[in-house]
Structures are given as C-alpha cells and as structure tokens.
C-alpha cells in the first residue's frame, strides 16, 4: 500500500487546461474522494495518477517515487472504470485473472487467488459465466475483483457506482467501504455525488474548473467551506448565502447586515465591500422575535424535518426545522442564525474569510 | 380486419414480405443456377434451343476446363489402347484425346495467391492505420484520412496507362507481388475507413483496463482490441477479397503469363477448340467457390455483435 503525493499537477489538452496546478496528499490507507461537477478535472486527475494520461507538468509521487512520466503498466495501480470495462470476450474467471497473467504468475497461483477474491466478493458461483449476461452489481463486483486480485499499491475508482441503479448503489457503497476497511488499501475515488463523497470518504478534494477548491475531511468541508463554490456544492439543500454590503474588521465578532448586527466567529481577516454571509439550513431557526425578518414562501415536508423556504431582504433562505413546527406559506417570521456556525465570504473572490472557527481548517 | 398492432406485423404483411424475399432470391440466383447447370451440360445441350432445363449431367465441361485435347482422325482413335482413367474416358467420348493439363489450375492458384495475399495485406495495414487514426493524435489526421479516401475518387482505369508504364520500369508487370501491391493500394482506403469506424465503436476503456492490468499498448491492441474488432475485420476482409478476386481490367492489362489471374483467363477458354460453353461455365462455377466459402466461413462474425452487453451505454 502506498502514500500518493500530488504536487502542482497540471494537464493541458491543446488550448484547454483541464487541471491547473493541483497539490494534495493521499495518506496510506486513506479512502480519498475527488469530488466536483462534471468537467472539473477530477477524472483527468485520477487518470494521471493511474498513468492513462501524462501530466503536462507537476509530480506524482507514489511512496516517494516520482512516477508521473511512467506508463500505466509500470505503476502497479488498479482502476475500476465507471462502465466496468470488463473484457467482453472473456468469462468472469479470465477477467479477474487477466492482471495476474500479465505478471507471469503461475497458473495454480492464479487459480487460488481468483478463487479467494471471488469468495470475498461473493461471485464464486459465476466464475465460468460470460460477463455479458451479468447484472450491473455483479459486473461491478467482477471489476472490483480484477482490481483487488493483484494486490496493487492503490485503487483508483472512476464513479464506480454511477452506472448502477439507485438501490444497488446503496448496497455497493456499503460493500466498497467494507472492502476498504478490510484491506486498508489506499483508494482514490472520483464522484460528482457529494452525498457519496461525504458518506464514504476519509478525505475529500473538491475541484472546480481544474482547480482544487478545498481539501479536507468531510466534516471540515461541510462546516467550513473554503469558497462559495464548495459551500454551494456540498450539502442538500446547499448553504444559504445572504449577500450584503458591509465591513468586517479584524477582531470583530459581528457584522452588520443592513440594519441588524449578526454575531459570528471572530473575524481574523479584514474585508469590506460586497460580502456574503453563509449559513447552513439547519443553523437557521425561526423565531417570532428575531430581528431579521422573512416571509415563508413554501414548505417542503421531509418526514422528521421540513425545509422552510423564506424570502428575506438579503435573498431567499432555506431553513431546516422540525416538521412539528407550524409553518404556513404567507406567514411572517424572524430568523435566528446560529453564530458559531456562520461563514463569511468575500463576494468578489468567492473565498471564505478567515475566522476563529475555520482558522484551523485552512492551511494556506 | 382484426386488431392492428404497431409492433407485430400482420399475417398478410408477413406473407407479402416472404414472397418478395423469395422472388428476389430467385431473380438473383437464376443466373448463377444457369451457369452452374451449364457447367454440367454437354456442348450440344448447352446451346440447344429451346434451352434445356432437364438434361443428363456430365463433367465434360470440367474435363475440358482442366485439359488440352486434340481431335485425331476416327480411324486413329479406334487403334488407341482403352482409355486410362475417368478424364481420358470422357475426352474419348467426345472424340478427343488429352494431350496435357490446361493452364486453368495455375491461373486459379494465381487468383488465390493474389486475392488472399492482397486481402491479408490490406487488412494488416488497414487495421494498424485505423487503430492509429482512431486512438492517437495523428498530425493532420483529417487531411490524411481525406487523402486516403480520395484515392478512391478516380476511376482506377484512368491511371491504367501510367501504372502500366511504371510497372514495366519497376519489373512488377506480370508478377504476383505487383498485383498484390496494386490491389492492396486500391483496397487500403476502404479497409482504413471501414475499420476505423469499427474501432471507433470499441470503447477505449477496454484497452485502458489492459494497460492498467500491466499490459503494453501493443499487447492491449492484440489481445483486447483485435478480438473486439473481429466482426469488422471479417466484413472488411470479405469486401477486399471480392474486389481483388473479381478485378478484370488491371488483370488484363498487367498480367499475361506468370501472374495471370482467373478472370482474364476464363474468356480465353472459349477460343480453344470451338465455343466450349460448358468449360467456360465450369471455370466460372469454380471461380465462384472461394469467395462463397470465405463468406460462409466468416458469416457468424458478420452477424454476431460480440461487444453486446459488456459495456453499459
């Protein structure tokens, strides 16, 4: 197993730059998520680590060795494709055995390993079937089997659950995580699904337009998004943005939103002008006495909770409240924002301003 | 009428479709049947009027095709020893004696060598070129592909004289190599374009999976791409073979002795000892066989969608 270090990784396709200088470290044994919307460069990054694309510049170190210009076959990394890419002219057994055959492993050894892997993945009864007739979940297991059979340094997974039905996706997500916990193999997993990333990942890199927006644990990224993009992309519903013109002085513990002072974690980085106050829906509570006023536009019932959609002078706000709370469209109410959980962004750069809450999260 | 269904054709329309197919098949096969039946007729039967549909079959045509014969005086014929073997017996029945083998076997073999040789070369070069065009960033890719296609835009016969002169200079006239190169030159554009289409359809992920699994690019090509492209290679090969096999104009122009193929030879049979239609028909019948067998052998590749279901689209 291996530690993977990415340094200033860049990839250009002609005039288009897919990845603009990414840097992050994937620790040994980590389940690492590359998250972002389509076209953000996450798959290109994965393919560069796997060796299917050569970077324009930058370094990829696997266990301290720079492999960035080596072909895929010399990197000892397994890749699970979104569309599985099982060899259609081979049966399940041959598919799983194929990586071992390239290494010249003796036949008896191949048989033993294939049987072992098939047992782990519970596909031992279908080894002699052609891959064409398998269900999505079984194909996914065969693809996983082909990846784990040779015990590679690391696993790359390119949206491996993307092609599955939603019910299978849940099951496979659990299986994948269980498999990882059992093997403790370094895994890099590409997804555009923020829930999947939060649910499965030890660490997440959020990418957008070829740039790493944020790199951290799911909790840090959720609680302390480094940019408006991350705040908007992570969480469902997304973080609320209250846009205002104002002033955040260093050491201040309030900002003035129109006429109302709002308490927030102590500001460590001064800013003035167009600012954005970010608050997650679950950190908005409704109170008739709160000074920030809003009008209820709609209510979405979700079982134990409900999403109350309000209009305020600073834009629409969604609040997640107990569904027991009476809320009717048309009602006027006040909004309380949970001070320790607020984020402040510079509207022009889109970057989060450093406060007492997120200071430990940002490294640079 | 009963209920109307969009998905299930009615009985009547199935009947009409069936009849059309049968009628078309008969129209297409009739000339072939006529050639084949003529090849088993005697000379007089082959030119009788009205034409004979039912006749006593004979292999005279085939004997005449493969032999050269003389017609001795009747008195001399009687003095000969009894015929030795079936060929001799059939020749004797027509009042002739066999003087030696004809050149048909040789010409037929030339056709096989040149036809299959140029097909193999076209497929070999075409597959490699198509793979490169499909997968790699080839500089001036579109221009090159258009150039390759453009070689087909001119009627081949327009370049017949220049090719004739060049071949004479290069010593390629009337050689197997010369004809293989020529037919490959004509077929390669078809092969590259057809195969590129087939290879474009093969998902790159298969090769990438093989690269990840520790194989080199060439191994991935050979072990993963080629089996997937089998259908395309088979159908392209059939097209190439049919062209090279049937080609007449260049064969007439460029071959006369060593490398003459069957198409220019078959018409010359007619001049040997009168109008021997059964022998011509026998030559044509045998000439049909290789392409027919080749097509039948590769038919399952033509029909089988082997990539079906392996990649979810």
pLDDT digits (tens, 9 = 90+) for B122-171: 999 999 999 999 999 899 999 999 999 998 888 877 888 999 999 999 99
Give the best residue of A80, A84, A85, A135 to mutate against chain B (max B CB count within 10 A).
A85
Beta-carbon-side half-sphere exposure of residue A58 (alpha carbons within 13 Å):
22
Kindly report the nearest CA distance between residue A106 and chain B, in angstroms: 16
* Final residue belonging to a domain, choices A170, A189, A223: A223
What is the b/e burial string over A225-237, where b = at least 16 CB atoms within 10 angstroms of the residue's CB?
A: bbbbbbbbbbbee
Flag whether residue B2 sits within 8 Å of chain A, measured between CB atoms.
no
What's the CATH code of the domain at B125? 1.10.3720.10
Mean of pLDDT values over A212-241: 94
Instruction: List the single range of A159-173, A182-196, A310-324, B169-183 with lowest mean pLDDT.
Output: A159-173
Do B312 and A132 lie within an 8 Å CB cutoff?
no
Cβ atoms of B191 and B123 closer than 8 Å: yes
Residue A312 phi, psi dihedral angles, 5° rounding: -130, 170
Flag whether residue B212 sits within 8 Å of chain A, measured between CB atoms.
yes
pLDDT, position A198: 92
CB atoms within 10 A of CB A148: 21
Do A132 and B310 lie within an 8 Å CB cutoff?
yes
Q: What is the pLDDT of residues B32-57, one digit of tens each?
A: 999 999 999 988 888 888 888 888 99
How would you classify residue A324: left for phi > 0, otherwise alpha for psi between -120 and 50, otherwise beta? alpha
Cβ atoms of A174 and A94 closer than 8 Å: no
Do A85 and B309 lie within an 8 Å CB cutoff?
no
Closest residue in A to B210 (Cα) is: A99
> Are B273 and B295 contained in the same domain?
yes
> Are A186 and A249 contained in the same domain?
no
CB contacts of B224 in chain A (<8 Å) are 87
pLDDT score of B102 more than 70: yes
3-state class of A146 per DSSP? Answer: helix
pLDDT score of B231 more than 90: no
> Are A168 and A127 contained in the same domain?
yes
Query: Residues of A at the B interface (Cβ-Cβ below 8 Å)?
Result: 50-52, 71-73, 77-79, 81, 83-89, 98-99, 102-103, 131-133, 136, 139, 146, 150, 163
Measured on CA atoms in the order A241, A243, A244, A247, is the torsion positive or negative?
positive
> Are B126 and B261 contained in the same domain?
yes
Flag whether residue B209 sits within 8 Å of chain A, measured between CB atoms.
yes
Closest residue in B to A86 (Cα) is: B310
> Are A113 and A198 contained in the same domain?
yes
Do B213 and A136 lie within an 8 Å CB cutoff?
no
At A169, the pLDDT band (50, 70, 90 cuts) reads confident
pLDDT, position A222: 94
pTM over 0.90: no
Please name the residues in contact with B7: beta carbons below 8 A apart, sequence gap of 6 or more: none
3-state class of A211 per DSSP? Answer: strand
Assess if residue A230 is contained within a domain: no
Closest residue in B to A72 (Cα) is: B212
What is the b/e burial string over A312-344, where b = at least 16 CB atoms within 10 angstroms of the residue's CB?
A: bebeebbbbbebeeebeeebebebebeeebbbb
pLDDT, position A133: 86
Flag whether residue B309 sits within 8 Å of chain A, measured between CB atoms.
yes
| Size (chain A), residues | 364
At B302, the pLDDT band (50, 70, 90 cuts) reads low
What is the b/e burial string over B56-83, where b = at least 16 CB atoms within 10 angstroms of the residue's CB?
A: eebebbbbbbbbebeeeeeeeeeeeeee
d(C-alpha B190, C-alpha A147), whole Å: 39
3-state class of B251 per DSSP? Answer: helix
| Number of domains forming the structure of chain A | 2
CB contacts of B206 in chain A (<8 Å) are 85, 87-88
d(C-alpha B214, C-alpha B218), whole Å: 12
At B273, the pLDDT band (50, 70, 90 cuts) reads low
Assess if residue A231 is contained within a domain: no
The first and second tokens of residue A293, run together, are 């006023």
Instruction: List the single range of A120-129, A164-173, B182-191 with lowest mean pLDDT.
Output: A164-173
Whether the ipTM is more than 0.90: the answer is no
Mean of pLDDT values over A197-201: 91
Among the partner residues A52, A78, A85, nearest to B203 by beta-carbon distance: A85
d(C-alpha A147, C-alpha A117), whole Å: 10
| Structural domain boundaries, residue A11 | 4-223
Compute CA distances B214 → A61, A145, A331, whole Å.
19, 15, 65
> Are B97 and B108 contained in the same domain?
no
pLDDT, position A361: 78
pLDDT, position A136: 84
**Cis link prior to A237 (omega < 30° from 0)?**
yes
Assess if residue B9 is contained within a domain: no
| Structural domain boundaries, residue B64 | 43-101
Kindly report the nearest CA distance between residue A116 and chain B, in angstroms: 19
Mean of pLDDT values over A44-70: 94
Question: Mean pLDDT highest for which of A205-209, B198-202, B288-292?
Answer: A205-209
* Final residue belonging to a domain, choices B101, B118, B148: B101
Residue A248 phi, psi dihedral angles, 5° rounding: -120, 110
**Residues forming beta bridges with residue A13, ordered by sequence position:** A16
Flag whether residue B227 sits within 8 Å of chain A, measured between CB atoms.
yes
CB contacts of A102 in chain B (<8 Å) are 213-215, 219
Assess if residue B284 is contained within a domain: yes
Share of chain B above pLDDT 90, in %: 54
CB contacts of B212 in chain A (<8 Å) are 50-52, 72-73, 77-79, 99
> Are A165 and A128 contained in the same domain?
yes
d(C-alpha B14, C-alpha B11), whole Å: 5
CA angle A208, A211, A214 (to 5 degrees): 80
**Residues forming beta bridges with residue A343, ordered by sequence position:** A278
Assess if residue B310 is contained within a domain: no
Task: Decide which of A165 and B281 is more confident.
Answer: B281
pLDDT, position B307: 41
Assess if residue B80 is contained within a domain: yes
pLDDT score of A142 more than 90: yes
Among the partner residues B213, B214, B228, nearest to A88 by beta-carbon distance: B228
Closest to A50 in 3D by CA, of A14, A100, A4: A4
| Number of domains forming the structure of chain B | 2
Question: What's the 3-state SS for B100-149?
Answer: EECCHHHHHHHHHHHHHHHHHHHHHHHHHHHHHHHHCCCCCHHHHHHHHH
> Are B130 and B62 contained in the same domain?
no
Assess if residue A117 is contained within a domain: yes
pLDDT, position B303: 62
CB contacts of A81 in chain B (<8 Å) are 205, 208-209
Assess if residue B32 is contained within a domain: no
> Are B57 and B192 contained in the same domain?
no
Closest residue in A to B211 (Cα) is: A73
> Are B91 and B228 contained in the same domain?
no
Q: What is the pLDDT of residues A282-332, one digit of tens each?
A: 999 999 888 889 999 999 999 999 999 999 999 999 999 999 888 889 999
Cβ atoms of A254 and A267 closer than 8 Å: no
Kindly report the nearest CA distance between residue B120 and chain A, in angstroms: 23
DSSP element (H, E) containing A292? strand A292-301
DSSP element (H, E) containing A166? helix A166-183
What's the CATH code of the domain at A102? 3.40.50.300
CB atoms within 10 A of CB A96: 30
3-state class of A183 per DSSP? Answer: helix
What's the CATH code of the domain at A311? 2.40.50.140
Q: Within chain B, where are the H helices?
A: 11-39, 43-46, 60-66, 74-79, 85-93, 104-135, 141-150, 160-170, 176-201, 204-212, 217-220, 226-246, 249-254, 262-269, 277-297, 299-303
CB contacts of A103 in chain B (<8 Å) are 214
Do A85 and B312 lie within an 8 Å CB cutoff?
no
Mean of pLDDT values over A111-138: 90
């Amino acid at each position: 197993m291996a530690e993977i270090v990415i340094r200033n990784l860049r990839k250009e396709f002609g005039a288009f730059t897919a990845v603009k200088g990414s840097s992050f470290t994937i620790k040994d044994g980590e389940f690492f998520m590359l998250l972002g919307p389509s076209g953000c460069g996450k798959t290109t990054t994965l393919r560069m680590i796997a060796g299917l694309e050569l970077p324009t510049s930058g370094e990829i170190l696997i266990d301290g060795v720079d492999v960035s210009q080596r072909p895929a076959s010399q990197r000892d990394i397994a890749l699970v494709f979104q569309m599985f890419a099982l060899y259609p002219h081979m049966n399940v057994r041959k598919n799983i055995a194929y990586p071992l055959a390239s290494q010249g492993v003796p036949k008896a050894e191949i048989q033993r390993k294939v049987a072992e892997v098939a047992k782990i993945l519970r596909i031992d009864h279908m080894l002699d079937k052609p891959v064409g007739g398998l269900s999505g979940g079984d194909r996914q297991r065969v693809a996983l089997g082909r990846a784990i059979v040779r015990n590679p340094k690391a696993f790359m997974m390119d949206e491996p659950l993307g092609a599955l039905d939603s019910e299978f996706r849940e099951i496979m997500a659990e299986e994948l995580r269980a498999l990882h916990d059992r093997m403790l193999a370094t895994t890099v997993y590409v997804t555009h699904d923020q829930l999947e990333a939060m649910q499965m990942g030890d660490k997440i890199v959020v990418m957008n337009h070829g740039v790493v927006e944020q790199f951290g644990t799911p909790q840090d990224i959720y609680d302390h998004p480094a940019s408006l993009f991350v705040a908007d992309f992570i969480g469902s519903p997304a973080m609320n943005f209250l846009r205002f013109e104002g002033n955040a002085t260093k050491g201040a513990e309030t900002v003035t939103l129109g006429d109302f002072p709002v308490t927030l974690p102590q500001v460590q980085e001064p800013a003035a002008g167009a600012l954005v106050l970010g608050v997650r829906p679950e950190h908005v509570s409704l109170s008739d006495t709160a000074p920030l006023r809003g009008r209820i536009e709609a209510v979405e019932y979700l079982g134990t909770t409900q999403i109350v959609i309000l209009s305020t002078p600073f834009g629409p706000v969604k609040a997640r409240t107990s569904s027991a709370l009476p809320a009717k469209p048309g009602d006027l109410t006040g909004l309380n924002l949970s001070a320790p959980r607020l984020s402040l962004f510079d509207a022009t750069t889109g970057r989060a301003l450093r406060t007492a809450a997120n200071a430990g999260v940002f490294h640079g | 009428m009963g209920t109307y269904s969009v998905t299930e054709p009615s009985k009547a329309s199935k009947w009409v479709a069936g009849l059309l197919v049968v009628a078309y098949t008969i129209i297409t096969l009739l000339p072939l049947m006529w050639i084949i039946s003529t090849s088993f007729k005697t000379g007089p039967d082959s030119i009788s009027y009205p034409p004979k549909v039912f006749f006593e079959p004979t292999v005279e045509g085939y004997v005449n095709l493969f032999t050269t014969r003389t017609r001795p005086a009747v008195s001399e014929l009687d003095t000969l020893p009894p015929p030795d073997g079936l060929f001799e017996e059939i020749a004797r029945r027509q009042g002739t004696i066999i003087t030696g083998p004809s050149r048909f076997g040789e010409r037929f073999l030339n056709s096989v060598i040149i036809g299959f040789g140029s097909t193999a070369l076209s497929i070999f070069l075409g597959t490699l070129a198509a793979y490169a065009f499909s997968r790699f960033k080839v500089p001036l890719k579109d221009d090159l592909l258009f150039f390759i296609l453009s070689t087909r835009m001119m009627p081949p016969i327009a370049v017949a004289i220049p090719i004739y002169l060049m071949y004479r200079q290069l010593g390629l006239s009337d050689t197997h190599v010369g004809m293989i190169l020529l037919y490959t030159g004509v077929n390669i554009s078809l092969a590259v374009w057809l195969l590129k289409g087939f290879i474009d359809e093969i998902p790159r992920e298969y090769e990438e999976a093989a690269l990840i699994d520790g194989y080199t690019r060439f191994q991935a090509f050979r072990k993963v791409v080629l089996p997937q492209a089998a259908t395309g290679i088979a159908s392209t090969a059939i097209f190439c073979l049919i062209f090279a096999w049937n080609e007449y104009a260049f064969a007439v122009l460029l071959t006369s002795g060593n490398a003459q193929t069957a198409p220019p030879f078959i018409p010359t049979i007619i001049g040997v000892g009168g109008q021997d239609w059964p022998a011509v028909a026998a030559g044509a019948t045998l000439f049909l066989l290789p392409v027919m067998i080749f097509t039948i052998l590769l038919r399952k590749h033509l029909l089988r969608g082997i990539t079906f279901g392996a990649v979810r689209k």
